């Protein structure tokens, strides 16, 4: 079965280059009408020009596809609303949203101006929330939507000098986990990609010899699957890069429950620390409620 997007409309943010460009070109080549969004600023988010988005939209049209360019900033809720409105005005619907836009302002927290912390969070996390919120009613009306968030190994596991970026990227996982609950009844499915690719954002972080193996086109097939009708999963996190794909999960160990009738002390935790941190038999939870119920379903230890 060929995965195609005929009749579908996709909005891809940060699509003026790198991963976003690759995603937009692929979706268009498979039949989607695409809105190419990119502020066109510097790596740190300064400045702006519609030229980057226009170039990619031109590429799509030159290949026989349909596309429009959009130079709005995802970090502005009004701009996000205008972006979605422009999509609906041009194509009459919105089926697919790929939240890919991002910036970097790397420094250790001790040396970072907190304005730089806020700006990175506003683009990655708030920007994804703003555009998703604007797109939601159009998807809900048609009872169909496919949304992709873009996290990072820095958010999942941490990275020196990227506290702002890491916080925003893990925040996207929390956003996805809530929206998978809210979207399911409307057939709006939301998943997250954790890409490893050689782009403008990573060229100083990855070895130059990895450029060919880690080209953005090696990540796009996963995003394309998440954007398709063939995908029936919601709430998945998958790492992708260089032809490697792996599911990522947040799991909880079996744990240890003390007798709630007895006073608890830190010494008791120290004594049972091995059991508390034992990850054998670890399992994920589908929702926060499921995790809370685990507390009541676990028998307390007896002295």
> Which residues are known catalytic residues?
165
Extended beta strands in 40-152, E state: 67-70, 96-98, 145-150
Provide the residue count of the chain: 303
Q: Which one, of 292, 224, 214, 220, lies nearest residue 252 by Cα? A: 292
Q: Which residues of 196-232 are buried (b: 16+ CB within 10 A; e: fewer)?
A: bbbbebbeeebeeeeeeebbbebbbbbbbbbbbeebe
Distance CA 41, CA 48 (A): 4
Q: Which one, of 192, 203, 198, lies nearest residue 242 by Cα? A: 198
Q: Which one, of 174, 202, 216, 23, lies nearest residue 103 by Cα? A: 202
The pair of three-digit structure tokens given for residue 154, joined into one six-digit string: 């820095």
Long-range CB pairs of 271-276, under 8 A, 24+ apart, other chains included: 272/301
Q: Dihedral of CA 210/245/22/71: which sign?
A: negative
Distance CA 191, CA 233 (A): 8
Distance CA 202, CA 247 (A): 22
Distances (CA, A) of 67 to 15, 60, 146: 12, 6, 19
């Amino acid at each position: 079965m060929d995965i195609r997007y005929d009749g579908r409309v996709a909005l891809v943010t940060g699509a003026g280059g790198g991963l976003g460009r690759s995603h937009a070109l692929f979706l268009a080549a498979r039949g989607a009408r695409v809105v190419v969004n990119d502020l066109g600023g510097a790596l740190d988010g300064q400045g702006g020009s519609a030229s980057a988005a226009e170039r990619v939209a031109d590429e799509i049209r030159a290949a026989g596809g349909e596309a429009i360019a959009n130079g709005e900033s995802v970090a502005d809720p009004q701009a996000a609303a205008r972006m979605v409105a422009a999509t609906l005005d041009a194509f009459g619907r919105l089926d697919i949203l790929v939240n890919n836009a991002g910036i970097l302002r790397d420094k250790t927290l001790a040396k970072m101006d907190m304005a730089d912390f806020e700006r990175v969070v506003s683009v990655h996390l708030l920007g994804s929330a703003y555009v998703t919120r604007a797109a939601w009613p159009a998807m809900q009306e048609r009872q169909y939507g496919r949304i992709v968030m873009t996290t990072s190994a820095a958010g999942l596991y941490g990275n020196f000098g990227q506290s702002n970026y890491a916080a925003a990227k893990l925040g996207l996982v929390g956003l996805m986990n809530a929206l998978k609950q809210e979207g399911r009844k409307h057939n709006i499915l939301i998943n997250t990609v954790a890409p490893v690719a050689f782009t403008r954002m990573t060229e100083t972080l990855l070895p130059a010899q990895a450029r060919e193996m880690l080209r953005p086109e090696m990540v796009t097939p996963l995003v394309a699957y998440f954007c398709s009708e063939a995908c029936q999963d919601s709430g998945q996190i998958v790492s992708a890069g260089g032809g490697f794909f792996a599911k990522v999960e947040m799991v909880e160990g079996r744990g240890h429950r003390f007798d709630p009738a007895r006073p608890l002390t830190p010494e008791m935790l120290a004594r049972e620390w091995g059991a508390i941190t034992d990850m054998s038999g670890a399992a994920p939870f589908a929702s926060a409620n499921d995790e809370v119920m685990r507390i009541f379903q676990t028998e307390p230890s007896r002295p």
